[in-house]
Chains A and B, each alone.
Chain A
Amino acid sequence: MRTLIFRTITPYLSSLMMLYSIFVTLRGHNEPGGGFIGGLIAASALAIYGIACGVSPVRRAIHFHPMAISGFGLLVAAIAGMMSILVGVPFMTGLWWSPVIFGVEVKLSTPMLFDIGVYLVVLGSITSITLALEEREHD
């Protein structure tokens, strides 16, 4: 699998896929996309990177253990749900905040935060599986 062409092109391909996964996640509220699909794209990006260049570079690149990323995602999703307590509305009620930064209105919301949590959980869980499968005893 580790052909020269594949190995050379994969870092660029994976980076693009990562960027694209973030884009897909963030636009998900209005256009096709969302955290789940985004997470799958990001997981594929890392899987391809792993196949091409080995598991260690991937582990170095993402720095945290993939399962930790997954756990953090679950925490983020839970926090997104619990923000509603601060304003005294039921659990998971969507809250919206639209600050204007440099003259552009940015729509922030707890559903978006929740979607980021979903993204991280999917990314982390699948990556940990693929990396474990790609890993050889001698790596």
Chain B
Amino acid sequence: MDLTLAAFFAPFLAALAAPALVQSMRHHAAWVLAIVPALMFIHFAGFLPEISAGERITGGYAWVPSLNVTFSWLIDGLSLTFALLISGIGTLVVLYSGGYMKDHPMLGRFMSFILMFMGAMQGLVLSDSFFMFFVFWELTSITSFLLIGFKHEAERSRRAAMQALVVTGLGGLIMLAGLIFIWNITGVSSFSLLLSTGDLVRESPFYLAALILILGGAFTKSAQFPLHFWLPNAMEAPTPVSAYLHSATMVKAGVYLLMRTNPVLGETVAWETILPLFGGTTLLVGTLLAVRQSDLKLMLAYTTVASLGLLVMLTGFGSEKAIEGAVLYLVAHSLFKGCLFMVAGNVDHEAGTRDVTKLGGLMALMPVTFAAAMLAALSMGGLPPFAGFLAKEEIYYGIAKGDSWSMLVTAVAILGNALMFVIGFAVAIKPFMGKAVETPKHAHEAPVLMLAGPVVLAGMGLIAALFSGVFHTLISSPMASAVAGEPLTITISVIPHPGLALTLSLVTIALGVVLFLSLARLRAVMTALLDAIGWGPDKGFDQALAGLVVGATNLTRTLQNGRMEVYMTATFILLATLLLSVMAWFDEWPAMPAFPVLYIYEWAIVLIAAIGIIAVVLANNRLTAIVALGIQGFAVALLFMLMGAPDLSFTQFMVETLSVVILALAMTRLRLSPQDHRSRSQTLLDGSVGVACGTAFTMIMLGVLQSDFDPYLTTFFNEYSYTVAHGRNIVNVILVDFRGIDTFGEIGVVMVAGLAILALVRIIAKPAPSLRPHVPVTGTED
């Protein structure tokens, strides 16, 4: 058994077992369930030596061989780092959830969702095949939907969950289109093969289309402005979810996709313009909106948006150092942001609120949480000796250049980083230092299940920086090489080297300190500004959704107005137009047929049919019309009989009989008035539509009969009907044997139609339910 394959399915199996385990062990089940991600972490850590030696591991199985779809994985520096983050932080989050949701009655369901998400995310980053990647991508959207909507009694949770699903699900479909474009351009449908196609995609005329579609997926998933709004709303989810999905892992899937495709899509003008533009905007918007918040989780959520913007900006900047900076920042961010979310959760859990203005002086009561928060904030602020410092230095090395574009990007980065510094310390300091404030709950230190996560993550941020040599060799250099598509070696360490990068770091920190001291004023300014604008993409989402519902309602009301006459008139007009216009377009009108030579009794039957038709038209009573229609039908059946089609004639007789019976019954049943009440103009319109349809059918029948007759099928059935199918009645043999599957489908239709008519007949007329459009609740966040 391949252990990597087992690692794909392990989280899903654990998710199946979780409810039962929680049932019997309550929150202690977290210790058992955490073994699964821990084992996955160990398994993937075993790949580190090979990967750091520059190897790439692929494996897999055929999945849908007929469509050339495989279940295959690709392990290189990029996917391995992600896999380690997912399983490592996943272990801590499972433990943390055990403490945070300790007495929640639905803990088992929650654990199950978290583990399912873990499996989906793991599959996403390890997938080699495009289709597998897409399946896991959508699976993360679905599990994220379940987790955001976990508190499903609350309307706001449901709205946030739906919003996240709509935005990321739509993005996923757009991305699929992009992947199919790439597949068509290159002819390969897996990342490992794609990476060796060189400039094929870049030189294709469809490059821009593929790029925009891929970016559509990446930007929705990674919450880039103006599609960032779903991420702060997703904070409705319990805090372990925010720590895991909405900071450390899932929202980085978009960045992962960009990094994965960088070697084949990157280094073009479009790439290096669009990505920094959107990334930079997201960075600034995210940090500015974060400043405005006073809820710990929302502050962190907006800085996550900002960090994702920074990562996108760096990925698209186009220098090796920028990529190295992005890689370091990605790892550092996962560590400190995961930690800070858990800290926010601890504060919320123990003190009963997470509003930063109602908290203070918790340091003495929650020393361990405070220590972890401080370590994480130092990393987030980019101070030595933490991983965040390494990242920030490398970023400035990468982007600080002489040209005006680089200077703009650098300025954006400095402002963004300074504001993130502010938020980091606001989260780490405001609740813990200063005057003790009366909190809703009497605060005390969190239990060990809830401390393991923040402490380990904060510690890792320190260890990674202190032992930067090992960290670079094992993690960051292989990852950067995979992103760049060529071997890169990262050398940055915690010992500051005087130079431009250090100067920029100092500027950032100085700016951060200044802004931190004026945080309250800044918040007031931002609030006033946003109130002045009064509109945001979140509101726009509601408006778009409401517009869609109203539009769909109006369209349905117009097309499906419930009036039978309109449907029938439309159908028959369309039919006549279609038949006549095709013949007119190709100028293939049938020739006038020769005058038929018939026996006298055949003429008599034709005459009867004609009399039937005239009687239908002239009848002033509906019942008479129905019976007259039957006369015409029987006459035609007789003609079939005389012309040598006994089966057809037989069927026609029966159908006519039953039609008359059923029509007459329906008329009495529905209590239709015996007379026809149509106005003269209506009669004229219906009459002309009828004549047009009749003419069109006559024309096409004549046309068909005048074309050359291919006797192939006649010969075939004549020859084989008896020899192969043992039947002399060719019509019936075709029905039940040669084309039996068609008949099978048809009798299925007959039965369903019967059921539908039965239901319609039985309906007692009720007033139709109103079609009022459902307008979703409006959120108050931006």
Contacts and interface: CB of A to CB of B under 8 A. Distances in A.
Given A30-B727, A94-B725, A70 B732 contact: no
Contacts, number: 139
Interface SS majority for chain A: helix
A133 B753 contact: no
A129 B726 contact: no
Interface string A86-117: 00000110101000000000010101101101
Given A30-B727, A81-B740, A109-B726, A126 B754 contact: yes
Interface residues of A, number: 49
A70 B757 CA distance: 14
B751 A70 contact: yes
B665 interface: yes
Nearest to A32: B646
B782 interface: no
Interface in A40-73: 40-41, 43-44, 47-48, 51, 67, 70-71, 73
B668 to A, nearest CB: 8
B737 A129 contact: no
A130 interface: yes
Contact of A122 (B665, B731, B747, B758): B747
A130 B726 contact: no
Given A33-B650, A129-B757, A47 B737 contact: no
B729 A125 contact: no
Which of A30, A67, A133 lies at the interface centre, i.e. has the most chain B CB atoms within 10 A of its CB?
A133
A40 B654 contact: yes
A43 B725 CA distance: 28
Nearest to A134: B665
Nearest to A112: B736
A92 B742 CA distance: 11
A28 B732 CA distance: 6
A128 interface: yes
Contacts of B650: 24, 32-33, 37
Given A29-B727, A94-B725, A129-B662, A67 B747 contact: no
A126 B751 contact: no
Contact of A124 (B658, B727, B741, B751): B751
A126 B661 CA distance: 11
A34 B729 contact: yes
Which of B655, B729, B744 lies at the interface centre, i.e. has the most chain A CB atoms within 10 A of its CB?
B744
A117 to B, nearest CB: 7
Interface SS majority for chain B: helix
A121 B727 contact: no
Contact of A32 (B726, B729, B733): B729
B204 interface: no
A14 B717 CA distance: 36
B658 A111 contact: no
A31 interface: yes
Contacts of A51: 661
Which of A33, A37, A129 lies at the interface centre, i.e. has the most chain B CB atoms within 10 A of its CB?
A129
A121 B757 CA distance: 15
B735 interface: yes
What are the nearest 9 A-B pairs in CB distance? A125-B754, A40-B654, A133-B665, A29-B727, A34-B732, A32-B646, A121-B747, A30-B728, A132-B761
Interface of B: 646-647, 650-651, 654-655, 657-658, 661-662, 665-666, 669, 725-729, 731-733, 735-737, 740-741, 743-744, 747-748, 750-751, 753-755, 757-758, 761-762
Given A112-B736, A133-B666, 9 more contacts: A29-B726, A29-B727, A35-B735, A36-B651, A37-B651, A92-B744, A94-B726, A129-B758, A132-B757
22 contacts: A30-B728, A33-B729, A35-B735, A37-B654, A40-B654, A40-B658, A44-B657, A70-B751, A74-B747, A74-B751, A77-B743, A78-B744, A111-B727, A115-B732, A115-B735, A115-B736, A121-B750, A122-B747, A124-B751, A125-B750, A128-B754, A129-B757
